[in-house]
Amino acid sequence: MTSRIEDAFAKARAENRGVLGVFVSAGDPDRETSGAILDALVEAKVDMIELGMPFSDPMADGPAIQAASLRALKGGMTLAGTLEMARAFRARHPATPLVLMGYYNPIYIYGVEAFLADAVAAGVDGLIVVDLPPEEDDELYLPAREAGLDFIRLVTPTSDAARLPVVLGTASGFVYYVAITGITGTRSAAADSISAAYSRISAATDLPIVTGFGIRTPEQAGEAASLSDGAVIGSAVVDIIADNLGGDGRGTPEIVSKIAAFVGDLAKGVAAAGRRD
């Protein structure tokens, strides 16, 4: 049996394009709006969703996702709530891969064993935990693989020849290429650097490689997705939430409709750009 993640890449390949992934924080700005946003993403033909597990101190995130995380926490989101959202999402959308992304501490406090059991039961496909490099694999990577979850590795511009085998040797699902040396939402990578990185990384792994960090427009999404195997957009989507909050900081219908329209454009950009080779 293939995984949902494998199926998503196969489908995009068959349609001669890269995959489109979108990141949002669970519960941003509140649980109902956040659930409606996830539905809108599927409707707008997103191939894969990265659902942020809010954390008070998101050390690798820029202002947009920091604010998203804090809005979600203020709205009462917890890790248990995030898992509950994942479960409800899976009940509505059986095919779209769902990857939980965040930092280790809330998982550590929830309890690794309980977290993995609940994530698997909720229908989560993979995990991205920013502050768990391979040096800390016994914390979560090994038990997560045991539980059947993909554990997505991050490769960065600082991943040199000595580092790549360490990171990729045990990668699963897909590889997330962090296109800039920096935090989320700050700057964008140049096309030639994505191409060069793709050659370097694909020489060391057979897994698909998606590019993320700093992608803001349908054109950039198309470019990144066609230079690698996919593109992930986070801050630009999260900014729409920030810009359309109600007076009380609550969600509004505009948030959902504007995200749907923007993500629809991203999907068109990715489809129009075609596939590498």
Partner 1 sequence: MTDINLNSLRNQPDERGRFGMHGGRFVAETLMPLILQVESAFKAAQSDADFASELAYYQTHYVGRPSPLYFAERLTAHFGGAKLYLKRDELNHTGAHKINNVLGQALLAKRMGKTRIIAETGAGQHGVATATACALFDMECEVFMGEEDVRRQKPNVDRMRLLGAKVHPVTSGTGTLKDAMNEALRYWVANAETHFYIIGTVAGPHPYPQMVRDFQSVIGREARQQIMDAEGRLPDTIVACIGGGSNAMGLFHPFLDDESVRIIGVEAAGKGIPSGLHAASLTGGTPGVLHGNRTYLLQDEDGQIIDAHSISAGLDYPGIGPEHSWLHDMKRVEYVSATDEEALDAFQLCSRLEGIIPALEPSHALAFVGTIIGDMDKDQILILNMCGRGDKDLGAVLPMLEERGKL
Identify the active-site residue in 30, 61, 150, 223: 61
Nearer to partner 1 (CB atom), residue 202 or residue 257: 202
Is 14 a binding residue for partner 1 by CB under 8 A? The answer is: no
Query: Length of the chain in residues, anyone?
Result: 277
Please report how close the Cβ of residue 164 comes to partner 1 at its closest, in angstroms. 10
- Residues between 128 and 147 with contacts to partner 1, criterion CB under 8 A: 130-133, 135-136
Contacts 24+ apart (CB under 8 A), 35-43: 35/85, 35/88, 35/89, 36/251, 36/256, 37/241, 37/255, 37/256, 37/259, 38/85, 38/89, 38/93, 39/92, 39/93, 40/256, 40/257, 40/259, 40/260, 40/263, 41/259, 41/263, 42/93, 42/96, 43/260
Rounded to an integer, what distance in angstroms lies between the CA atom of residue 248 and that of residue 251?
A: 9
Question: Is 50 annotated in the active site?
Answer: yes
Which residue's CB is nearer to partner 1, number 212 or number 222?
212
Nearer Cβ to partner 1 (56/193) = 56
**Applying CB under 8 A, does 242 fall inside the site for partner 1?**
no
Q: Is 28 a catalytic residue?
A: no
Q: Which one of the listed residues 28, 50, 125, 150 is annotated catalytic?
A: 50
Rule CB under 8 A: choose which of 22, 38, 144, 154 binds partner 1. 154
How far apart CA 147 and CA 266 sit, in angstroms, is 33
Residue 154 phi, psi dihedral angles, 5° rounding: -100, 130
51 closest CA partner among 87, 100, 89, 94: 100
# binding residues, partner 1 (CB under 8 A): 43
- Residues 46 to 65: which contact partner 1 by CB under 8 A? 55-57, 59-62
What residues are annotated to the active site? 50, 61
Q: Where does this chain bind partner 1 (CB under 8 A)?
A: 55-57, 59-62, 66, 73, 78-80, 103-110, 130-133, 135-136, 153-160, 162-163, 167, 178, 180-183, 186
